[in-house]
Structure 1
Amino acid sequence: MTTPVSLLTWSAAILPIVLLLYLLIIRQWAVVDAAIFGLITTLITAFFVFKAPILTLSVEITKGVWNSLSIIAVIIPAIFLYELSLKVNAFKSIQQALTQMIPDRFLQVLAIGWCFASFLQGPSGFGVPIAVTAPILIGIGIRPFYAVAIPLIGHSWAGTFGTLGLGWQALMQQIGINPTSPLYLETALWTTLFTGIVVSFSGFLIAYIYGGMRAIKHGFPAIVILGCVFFVGQMITSHYFSALSAVVPSTIALGVIFLIAKLPCYQGKSIPCRIENVASDRTFATNNDTKSTSISFFEALLPYLVLVFLSAIVLIVPSIKKYLGQFTMSLSFARTTTGYGFENPAIEIYGQVAWFTHSGFFLLVSALITYIFFYAKGLIKKAETSKMLRVTIEKSVPPALSIMLLLIMSKVMNGSNQIGVLALGTATVTGGYYTYFTPLVGMIGTFMSSSNVSSNILFAEFQSSMAEITGKNVALLLAAQTGGGAVGTMISPSNLLLGVTTAGILGQEGNIIKKLLPFIVFLVIIIGILTRIFA
């Protein structure tokens, strides 16, 4: 007996997602509150509708808690790094240096919210780009709400090949595609095409948010040049070294934008900014009781330069990666089933984490090195350290709890086969038109699990099966899956929570989702139409 796919089971499966979106967008609840109700609903439907026994639910809850720890390990050092930068007035230094090197205000926003956010996504990911760039954007005068929204948009294209290609590797490993296989190269080609659409749209959307059609016209040369760097760079590197397919183009783009700033069209007066916070300087001065700009631009960027350098060295040099990667932690679980016979196989090694090659470790080391450096310079006093640590813990609790609840919710839905019923029911109803909805599945997977990596793990095999059933191109559907997942990173709960926490606007997650959702839907529709046409 298998889990029945009926109107009742499909409705029960989608109910937690609908409730979560309703509470976040319509009722504008904080994520932690909405997640509690979403999880309770998921547990009820899993137990009564999908016949998941207590043992099965317990195992899935444990999986969710374990998976959340690797993300929480990023949250805590990221927030401490923010508090550290705030204490030494690093954001003010960055603001002044950018004004000198890139006089055009709009290009400053592009440099931070698009290029630098993508640059950080290359080796790190897990919300680090949002946590780092949001306060910097606030420092140059952008309102906190948009300081979070802009990097969410700007870094999304790198959702597949970011974190040194982790999402891409997950997609290939789930299907068992060899890097030398023609299917591998074909999937990479389609994936870079879809993410290329996302990156091009991102630049224009940031411009529109900044200053409407006038900003789009003003920024057109820069957006086209940078978009081509991202797109072509990713397409080329994905065929040879997928781990660097976000690192290489974003690094080049970060250098190119300083050259673009020297073009004659960007030497005059910048266009008006409609998302400017005129009180931003006073806000930062109020929150920072230390000296004004007592550190250089290089010193202000020190933690982020250390972060990228450390990530690249450890993860790219095989001998270092192999040595540090051997220190792992994981859990093991016995086989579980539901009353319908849906089976979760036994897992000897579940959620293996190599902590010394993890983004959280890189952030922690970067924070410690930066702290020692600033302490040695006398910019931080010993008494201030305990205060920073206390504030870090206080700010970490809400996002950490929210992420844990959401991942438990995701695991319970998967372990009770709610996600399978949801996907299969949608595919059954849509029939031959399923290709239109392929990226939607990837987007929902990212929203539910806070990661394009997890979305690919959840749905890669399903997409491959659907391609075989419908007679469609496997590479195309896999690319649409991860392309939709990349779009979903714009509203990934972990990204949102890290951003609103470092920006000081905790509780605004629902408003940001509401703002970005129309653009996300537009992109998912475009990728779906292209998938249908080429399939």
Structure 2
Amino acid sequence: MTFTPATDPVAGSVAVSALIGLIPLVTFFVLLAVVRTAAHVAGAFALLAALAVAVVAYRMPVGLAGLAASEGAVFGAFPVFWIVLTAVWLYQITVRSGRFEDLRRIFDRLGAGDLRIQAILIAFCFGGLMEALAGFGAPVAITATMLMAIGLKPLRAAATVLVANTAPVAFGAIAIPITTAGALTGIRADHIGAIVGRQTPLLAFVVPLLLLLIVDGVRGLRDAWLPALVTGVVFGAAQFLCSNYFSYELTDVVASLAGLGVAVLFLRVWKPRGADAARERLGVPARTASEAAVGPGAEAASLTGSRVWLALFPYILVILVFAVSKLWRLGIDLPKALLATDVKIPWPLLHDSLLGADGKPVASTIYSFQWLSSPGTLLLLSGVIIAVVYSLNDGGGRFRLRIGDAVAELWRTFVKMRLAALTIVLVLAIAYVMNLSGQTVAIGTWLAGTGAAFAFLSPILGWIGTAVTGSDTSANALFAKLQQTAGQHAGIDPSLLVAANTSGGVVGKLISPQNLAIAATSVGMDGQESTILRKVVPWSFGLLLALCVLVFLQSTSALGWMLP
């Protein structure tokens, strides 16, 4: 038995078919945002809805619908969750070893004693680094506690980290949102990343300035705008260069370190005004910010060059490992050799039964098992090396990490993230059922009826998806194929719209219930998510509007030259 998806299986109408095809998404969003069920519960019911619509309305054979769900679930587990798991595990190694505390002290020294600049370095630069390696709420939780430690009040700290956690999101967790979009659409992930790298840097330019407004109002902006602008411009420029000419997976790692490094160098020759007055306005005594983060003077003095190097070592190593795997061609073409290890698996029974309009099996039913080339595997290798180095350098017993502890931490990390893993698996299963049954194509065809105006609306889909699910990866899993289809029918570059979905998602992250809850818990404002939401929602709407205008102009001759 074979099956070919159609765009108008219900009453011969694309509009009716599209509206019915929306049922799984509406189910998911309503259960999550209105009924407020757990994400994995909403995902389970939405998957049942997707299967029912595929079988009953789109006439997909039951067996093929189930096989489509199974392929999506496996892809969600590997490589998607595998990348997330190893990224968070790598961070946990630094915490368990005690080296993360040294990293906090480094930021105190780098901030030139100015609370506002420290907030930018921690929330924007270091938070971007955490987003690059972990994502999924970890940067918000980590940096919120660090801002509390240097003296910021709870609401101000929560708003600061949420707004900071925007520009890096598209390339978070080793750019898994972009990798997911590429896998679902068949568009090269590096091409999508290159376009995103010509959109989100414009947000990066202004986000540090917005952080100054949040931390210290107009006076803070007036006193410290120059180092904030320099940090944002360098971060954005590094995002553009890395995503277009180096490695889109490493974009946030490189951008965060570049922004941090340039900011530190700039602060050696230019000091912000009014640092002490700002502390007074914020209710932080003159030495509290430094002492809270660093501790007694003797402890600060013990931050030797060796300890600084070992605190930074994990992030430097990740850059080197990914650089070698992507660029090494001396004697052996390592990138090609790694890709050659991928195992291509035509999904059993599904591949030969699901046919495109040309009567040939569709490419998306071939699963690629990237056991060695996956970023998750490279992060695992990096984590093992870090664990070995840390176990051999215990600082005279002060920092203790045994190899067995690191291995056990991997299991503990999986246990803590098991529900997140289930959610990812279910969301990808929904995406595959909707894509392979024709639901996504029908919705995209219907939306394409808006014509050129769809380019303006495109980022809003990503914004909605991330705001509700808390994940740009999930938003791409749900909408990437839809964006591609809409672009093909509206005569707009599909790659631009898929990238717009990713970029729109970054400004939806700061108002997602998941992120709001993480921020509230981290700063001791449990149950006050609505208060934080009111503080940050204007920034989300403003940045979204700017993205909508940018994408629309990029779809025309006005800014079409910006695209690769």
> Which TM-score applies when normalising by structure 2?
0.72
Tell me the equivalent position of 2:500: 483
Q: What is residue 301 of structure 1 aligned with on the other side?
A: 312
Name the counterpart of 2:51.
43
Asked if structure 2 preserves the Cα contact closer than 8 Å seen for 1:229 and 1:249, the reply is: yes
Greater mean alpha carbon deviation, residues 90-99 or residues 218-227: 218-227
1:424 matched to 2:435: no
Rounded to whole Å, the distance in 2 between the matches of 1:487 and 1:509 is 27
- Out of 78, 89, 93, the position equivalent to 1:84 is 93
| Structure-to-structure mapping, 1:243-322, within 5 angstroms | 243=248, 249-262=255-268, 263-265=270-272, 268-269=275-276, 271=278, 296-318=307-329, 319-322=333-336
1:93-108, aligned counterparts within 5 Å?
A: 93-102=102-111, 103-108=113-118
Output the CA distance in 1 between the equivalents of 2:337 and 2:159.
41
1:415 matches 2:436: yes
Q: Tell me how far 1:360 sits from its aligned partner.
A: 1.1
Structure 1 residue 400 displacement after superposition = 0.9
For the structure 1 residues 390 and 234, does the alpha-carbon distance in structure 2 shift closer, same or farther, using more than 3 Å as the test?
closer
1:451, CA displacement in angstroms?
Answer: 6.2
1:266 is displaced (CA, Å) by 5.8
d(CA) in 2 for partners of 1:310 and 1:270?
44
Partner of 1:194: 199
Deviation at 1:256, TM superposition (A): 0.8
Contact 1:330 1:349 in 2 (8 A): no
Matched, 1:18 2:23: no
Change in CA separation of 1:33 and 1:129 when aligned onto 2, cut-off 3 Å: closer
Whether 1:527 and 2:547 are equivalent positions in the alignment is yes
Matched, 1:153 2:173: no
For the residues of structure 2 that align with 1:236 and 1:514, how far apart are their CA atoms?
Answer: 33
Distance 1:527 1:296 in 2: 42
* Equivalent residues of 1:114, 1:151 under 8 A apart: yes
Aligned residue in 2 for 1:437 = 457
Quick check: 2:387–2:403 contact (8 Å CA) kept in 1? no
How many Å separate the matches in 2 of 1:527 and 1:170?
24
How far is 1:308 from its partner? 1.9
Larger radius of gyration: 2
User: CA 1:282–1:481 in structure 2 vs 1: closer, same or farther (change >3 Å)?
Assistant: same
Q: Secondary structure at the match of 1:296?
A: helix
Look up the equivalent residue of 2:165 and give its one-letter code: L
Q: Which runs of 5+ in 2 are unaligned?
A: 1-5, 296-301, 557-564
- Tell which deviates more after alignment, 246-255 or 514-523: 514-523
Preserved contact between residue 135 and residue 502 of structure 1 (Cα < 8 Å): no
**Which fold has the larger relative contact order, with Cα–Cα distance below 8 Å and residues 6 or more apart in sequence?**
1
Please tell me whether the aligned partners of residues 504 and 544 of structure 2 are also in contact (alpha carbons under 8 angstroms).
yes
Partner residue of 1:406? 427
Distance 1:390 1:238 in 2: 32
Q: Answer yes or no: is the 8 Å Cα contact 1:198–1:487 preserved in 2.
A: no
For residue 64 of structure 1, report the CA deviation from its aligned partner: 1.0
- The 1:375/1:437 distance shift into structure 2, 3 A limit, reads same
1:93/1:348 Cα in 2 relative to 1: closer, same or farther (>3 Å)?
A: closer
The counterpart of 1:364, out of the listed 344, 360, 380, is 380
* Alignment-mate amino acid for residue 372 of structure 1: V
CA offset digits 1:147-190 (Å, max 9, x no partner): 8735531403657995798689879973899x9xxxx9xx96x7
For 1:393, which of 395, 414, 422 is the aligned residue? Answer: 414
Q: Which residue of 1 aligns with 2:390?
A: 374
Q: What letter corresponds to residue 92 of structure 2 in structure 1?
A: E
1:492–1:99: structure 2 CA closer, same or farther, 3 Å change rule?
closer
Q: How does 1:443-454 map to 2 (within 5 A)?
A: 443=463, 450=473
Q: Which sits farther off after the overlay, 301-310 or 478-487?
A: 478-487
Residues 357-407 of structure 1: CA deviation (Å, up to 9, x unaligned): 322122212221222233333513577567635522321211111110111
Unpaired segments ≥5 residues, structure 1? 286-291
Retained in 1: the 8 A contact 2:24–2:46? Answer: yes
The amino acid across from 2:366 in the alignment is Y
Structure 1 residue 271 displacement after superposition:
3.6
CA contact (8 A) 1:16 1:42 kept: yes
Which segment is superposed worse, 298-307 or 349-358? 349-358
2-structure distance, mates of 1:330, 1:275:
60
Change over 3 Å in CA distance of 1:81–1:162 after alignment to 2: closer
**2:345 is paired with a residue of what secondary structure?**
strand
| Native 8 Å contact 1:328 1:352 kept in 2 | yes
Q: Find the aligned partners of 1:129 and 1:163 in 2 and give their Cα distance.
A: 11
> 2:120 — aligned with what?
110
Structure 2: distance between partners of 1:275 and 1:312: 45
Return the offset for 1:408: 0.6
Preserved contact between residue 93 and residue 293 of structure 1 (Cα < 8 Å): yes
Distance 2:128 2:23 in 1: 34
CA distance, structure 2, for counterparts of residue 383 and residue 73 of structure 1? 20
**Number of matched residues?**
505
> CA 1:92/1:424 → structure 2, altered by over 3 Å: closer, same or farther?
same
User: 1:135 corresponds to which residue?
Assistant: 142
* RMSD between aligned residues: 4.9
Deviations along 1:326-368, one digit per CA (max 9) or x if unpaired, are 2113321324459x99989344972424333322122212221
Is the alpha carbon distance of 1:480 and 1:274 closer, same or farther for their aligned partners in structure 2, counting shifts above 3 Å? Answer: farther
Q: Is the 8 A contact 1:450 1:489 kept in 2?
A: no
Change (3 A) 1:420 1:209: farther
Distance apart, 1:410 and its partner CA: 1.2
Task: Return closer, same or farther for 1:520/1:392 CA change in 2, 3 Å cut-off.
Answer: same
**Aligned with 1:174: secondary structure?**
coil
- CA deviations over 1:95-135 (Å, ceiling 9, x no partner): 112112223233233224333454577xx66x459646743
